[in-house]
Structure 1
Amino acid sequence: MSLPVRRVLIVEDEVILALDFSDAVAELGYHIIGPALSLDEGMRLARSESIDCALLDVNLGHGQTSQPIAEALRQQGVRLAFLTAYDREQIAFANEDETVMRKPPGLAVLHHVIDFLCK
């Protein structure tokens, strides 16, 4: 009996990066939810989809961050990591136990983090 494919939400406002992250994660055998390119789209997916883990960009443009998405996912018990150009200390809403990756992460780092989050 095979294990179900784990579902990964990707929220990234830069289209090229969103597609790159989605392709990389899909190549690792995960099912991609999104990618969501905005706060509104990310919130909609976080509320309506079954999600096993998530990769969230911190800054979603137009003065918006992924904080509301992170909070919604945490309430559901979904593990998440942040993809960002910021240092951990600059992300007030990242919990101490959550991974913060510098963009763009290497494939090996991304693979390790996704495997850890979705176990």
Structure 2
Amino acid sequence: MGQKLQPEHATTILVVEDEFIIALDLSETVRDMGFRVEGPYANKDHAFIAIDQEMPDVAILDVLTGDGEVFPLADALTDAGVPIIFHSGHMRPSELQERYPMAQAAAKPCRPDRLMAMIEEARAQAKQQAH
């Protein structure tokens, strides 16, 4: 029987979300697309530890987590060239894009098909930056 080959580098998507049900939903959407989930993390401090060990290809970030605003993490990811998708119920997408012009932003709740399209766009952006 044929063995399913794993790609040498599966796309890794960091998920930072402190609302359990939403974190679970985001993670399942990422897995359903065939990507590897890093997290989900309920706070940015744990996510900082994770990116120190391995930088993700894309990040989905809630703006307000249990330990405050996620902007220091977003700054570190932006500096590393990681495309960001903000997923927030606290800030309008236009406010986030003023601060992070290269990022995408969606208000909660975000339909899965919209999120999937945003992930694909972020992956394309990451591939462009890698070349």
TM-score (norm 2): 0.81
Structure with the higher fraction of residues in helix conformation: 2
Consecutive aligned runs of 4 or more in structure 1 exceeding 2 Å deviation? 1-4, 88-94
Residue of structure 1 in register with 2:118 after alignment: 113
Percent identity between matched residues is: 28
Return 33-42 or 94-103, whichever deviates more.
Answer: 94-103
Match of 1:18 among 10, 23, 47: 23
Question: Is residue 96–residue 105 contact of structure 2 (8 Å, CA) maintained in 1?
Answer: no
The 1-side partners of 2:108 and 2:32 are apart by 18
| Root-mean-square deviation (Å) | 2.0
Is 1:55 the equivalent of 2:60?
yes
TM-score (norm 1): 0.88
Aligned length: 118
What residue ranges of structure 2 are gaps of 5+ in the alignment?
125-131
| Max Rg structure | 2
Instruction: State the secondary structure of the residue aligned to 1:47.
Output: helix
Letter in 1 for 2:76: A
Instruction: State the secondary structure of the residue aligned to 1:78.
Output: coil
The 2-side partners of 1:49 and 1:93 are apart by 28
Higher normalized contact order (CA 8 Å, seq sep 6+, divided by chain length): 1
Residue of structure 1 in register with 2:88 after alignment: 84
Change (3 A) 1:94 1:55: farther
Shift of 1:14: 0.9
Residue of structure 2 in register with 1:33 after alignment: 38
Return 10-19 or 84-93, whichever deviates more.
Answer: 84-93
